């Protein structure tokens, strides 16, 4: 029996559920091609950052002012801001090159926190050819006067602003730290999102004990991080029609299968592909196919969501009851005296 691994994400028909997450592997056409050959169904390009866009716009504005004073007649030749040949231009070039050289859908990524002109780049990415957009909202509230409601209003405004400027589907990469994930999911959906990536990984700062400085450093994920996405995907799966991508800690075939059973439409992977390289994808596909065969599933769509909270034989397992069970079932490995 041949197994149908295809799945739908953001209205895109994908040949399987393995999507390469935004990471340096997706920043070059050659490696995008290798990922595709190894079996990737789609790829998210590394993000263009709010700060990067705004910095470039400021630099261009400075130049523009200088030109206004000095060479009024040259203004007619001055390029439009959005088309200016800056770092963002390279990003658009990458999209165009990727669209020419790989067949899998390419998802552009914007990463920011505040509502502003930078969101207009979603349209530029769409015009360059992306099949969908991902908006990574990475906001760290530090103002004690800013309520969680106000923070979430900002998320909603940002999603609506990006959605308004594009016709391609929009997925929103969210962090896990909300008082009520289901409420935020509902609000983001109402603002126009077509999908969600659960979850964004916040990179926590470290402290360098010699330099006595806060030191940014990137730690790759570990598998247990996936548990966070498993719970929330299983809970929101029954509450929303949005496409769902599980991200964070998807390393091996078991992880992919668990995410799909919880209700994800696709998984996004970065760490495992950075560690093991593109061939890891073909291994995963073989193992997923073997698991489906052994468990008598004919397709990925047949098994998707079959252990969501609503479909689970014990919905309370996703709630507080499971916490109590986990605590009481723990057996200490501490040697007895
Ligand atoms: C080196 C590196 C660069 C990344 N760059 C981005 C980025 O530009 N935009 C983004 O949204 N996520 C970025 N991420 C996060 C990944 O897309 C992904 O969400 C995260 O690593 C969790 O998945 P994983 O457990 O498979 O690594 C990056 C991750 C890594 C490891």
- Per-residue pLDDT tens for 242-263? 999 999 999 999 999 999 999 9
Kindly list the domain boundaries of the chain, sorted by start residue.
Answer: 7-329
Q: Does the structure show a pLDDT above 80 at 66?
A: no
20, 23, 24, 40, best to mutate for ligand 1 pocket (most atoms within 8 Å of CB): 23
Contacts of 12 (CB under 8 A, 6+ apart): 42, 105, 131, 132, 169
pLDDT of the residue at 54: 81
Looking from the CA of residue 199, the nearest atom of ligand 1 is: 19
**CA of 300 relative to ligand 1 center, distance in Å:** 25
Query: Which amino acid residue places its CA nearest to atom 4 of ligand 1?
Result: 23
* Per-residue tokens: 205: 């700062």
112 lines ligand 1 (CB under 6 A): no
Question: Cis (ω within 30 of 0) for the bond into 199?
Answer: yes
Looking from the CA of residue 269, the nearest atom of ligand 1 is: 26
22 lines ligand 1 (CB under 6 A): yes
Q: What is the mean pLDDT of residues 140-152?
A: 95
State the pTM of this model.
Answer: 0.90
177/322 Cα distance (integer angstroms):
20
**336, burial (CB in 10 Å: exposed 0-12, middle 13-18, buried 19+):** exposed
243 lines ligand 1 (CB under 6 A): no
List, for residues 283-309, the tens digit of each pLDDT value: 999 999 999 999 999 999 999 999 999
Q: Does the structure show a pLDDT above 60 at 77?
A: no
Q: What is the mean pLDDT of residues 105-117?
A: 92
- Identify the three-state secondary structure at position 8: strand
162/174 Cα distance (integer angstroms):
15
26, 109, 200, 201, best to mutate for ligand 1 pocket (most atoms within 8 Å of CB): 201
The reply to whether CATH 3.20.20.70 applies to domain 7-329 is yes
Q: Does the structure show a pLDDT above 90 at 103?
A: yes
Please provide the distance, in angstroms rounded to a whole number, between the alpha carbons at the two ends of the chain. Answer: 56
253/2 Cα distance (integer angstroms):
18
* Per-residue tokens: 129: 């050819």
297/190 Cα distance (integer angstroms):
34
Closest CA to 12 of 156, 155, 134, 168: 168
Q: What is the mean pLDDT of residues 198-227?
A: 92
248 lines ligand 1 (CB under 6 A): yes
List, for residues 262-290, the tens digit of each pLDDT value: 999 999 999 999 999 999 999 999 999 99
Q: What is the DSSP letter of 4?
A: B
Q: Does the structure show a pLDDT above 60 at 162?
A: yes
- The residue among 82 and 284 whose pLDDT is bigger is 284
250 lines ligand 1 (CB under 6 A): yes
Helix intervals (H) in the chain: 29-38, 50-70, 87-101, 121-128, 148-165, 181-190, 226-237, 253-262, 271-276, 279-294, 300-303, 320-329
């Amino acid at each position: 029996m041949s197994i149908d691994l295809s799945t739908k994400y953001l209205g895109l028909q994908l040949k399987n559920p393995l999507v390469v997450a935004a990471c340096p592997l997706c920043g070059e056409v050659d490696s995008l091609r290798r990922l595709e050959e190894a079996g990737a169904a789609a790829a998210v390009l590394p993000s263009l950052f709010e700060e990067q866009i705004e910095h470039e716009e400021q630099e261009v504005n400075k130049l523009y002012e200088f030109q206004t004073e000095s060479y009024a007649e040259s203004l007619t030749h001055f390029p439009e801001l959005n088309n200016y040949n800056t770092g963002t231009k390279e990003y658009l070039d990458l999209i165009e090159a990727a669209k020419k050289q790989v067949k899998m859908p390419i998802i552009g990524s914007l990463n920011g926190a505040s509502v502003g002109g930078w969101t207009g780049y979603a349209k530029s990415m769409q015009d360059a050819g992306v099949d969908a957009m991902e908006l990574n909202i990475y906001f760290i509230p530090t103002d004690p006067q800013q309520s969680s409601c106000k923070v979430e209003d900002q998320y909603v405004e940002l999603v609506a602003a990006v959605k308004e400027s594009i016709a391609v589907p929009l997925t929103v990469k969210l962090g896990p730290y909300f008082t009520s994930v289901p409420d935020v999911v509902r609000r983001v959906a109402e603002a126009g999102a077509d999908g969600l990536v659960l979850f964004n990984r916040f990179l926590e700062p470290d402290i360098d004990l010699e330099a006595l400085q806060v030191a940014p450093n990137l730690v790759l994920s570990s598998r247990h991080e996936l548990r966070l996405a498993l719970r929330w995907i299983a809970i929101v799966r029954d509450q929303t029609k949005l496409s769902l991508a599980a991200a964070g800690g998807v390393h091996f075939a078991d992880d992919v299968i668990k995410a799909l059973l919880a209700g994800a439409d696709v998984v996004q992977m970065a760490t495992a592909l950075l560690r093991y390289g593109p061939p890891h994808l073909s291994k995963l596909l073989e193992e997923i196919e073997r698991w489906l065969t052994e468990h008598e599933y004919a397709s990925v769509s047949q098994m998707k969501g079959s252990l969501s909270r609503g479909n689970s034989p014990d919905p309370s397992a996703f709630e507080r009851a499971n916490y109590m069970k986990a605590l009481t079932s723990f057996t200490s490995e501490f040697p007895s005296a």
